[in-house]
Amino acid sequence: MLGPQGAGKGTQAQRISRETGAKHIATGDLVRAEIKSGSELGEAVKDYNNRGELVPDEIIIEMTKPHLEKHDAWLLDGFPRNEAQARALDEALEELGLELDAAVVLEAPDKELVERLSGRRTSEATGKIYHVEHDPPPEGDGEDPGPFIQREDDREESIRRRLEIYHEHTKPLKDYYVEKDILVTVDATQAIPEVTKDVMAALERKDA
């Protein structure tokens, strides 16, 4: 599942996982779980995070491989992010005797993504995320007293920079999957159920 931040990759991966029974594998969750476990691999990942460096591809692959092997069907969310990672993933899959059925990319204009992300507010009390326009923080709600803050990475200048990086790395990635004839593009500006419906229809076409 590919797409920029704010396009709804996590939401769609969860929905499609429920519809199909495929295991939702979010690499961000795997990284956090490995760190929490205190394993040798987790300590290595923690060191990279503490230094503000990206976790090397081979470590992400090492963490992900057991989950790819364990489940008959899965949805990978958060990896690969560039062509080099896609090639590393293909090598790992070849070792396991597996291959990708489809690479689904959720597309939305930058303007809409900036609007979606810059409107987010996070509750310091509960960690729940709201949106100033679509899902405003509650007022005087005992269940979530706030305060509700805008995270640094949800500020407009931060979002625009992340989108620049995304486009720079993702064009070659999309071209790579076009060459393999497995790229599926879905309009992420639609309502959530419509996006799910389009993804499911595209996957069915790939299976046919």
Q: Which residues are catalytic?
A: 9, 81, 120, 151, 162
Supply the DSSP string of the chain, one letter for each residue.
-B--TTS-HHHHHHHHHHHH--EEEEHHHHHHHHHHHT-HHHHHHHHHHHTTPPPPHHHHHHHHHHHHHH-SSEEEES---SHHHHHHHHHHHHHHT---S-EEEEE--HHHHHHHHHTEEEETTT--EEETTTBPPPSS-TT----EE--GGGSHHHHHHHHHHHHHHHHHHHHHHHHTT-EEEEETTS-HHHHHHHHHHHHHHHH-
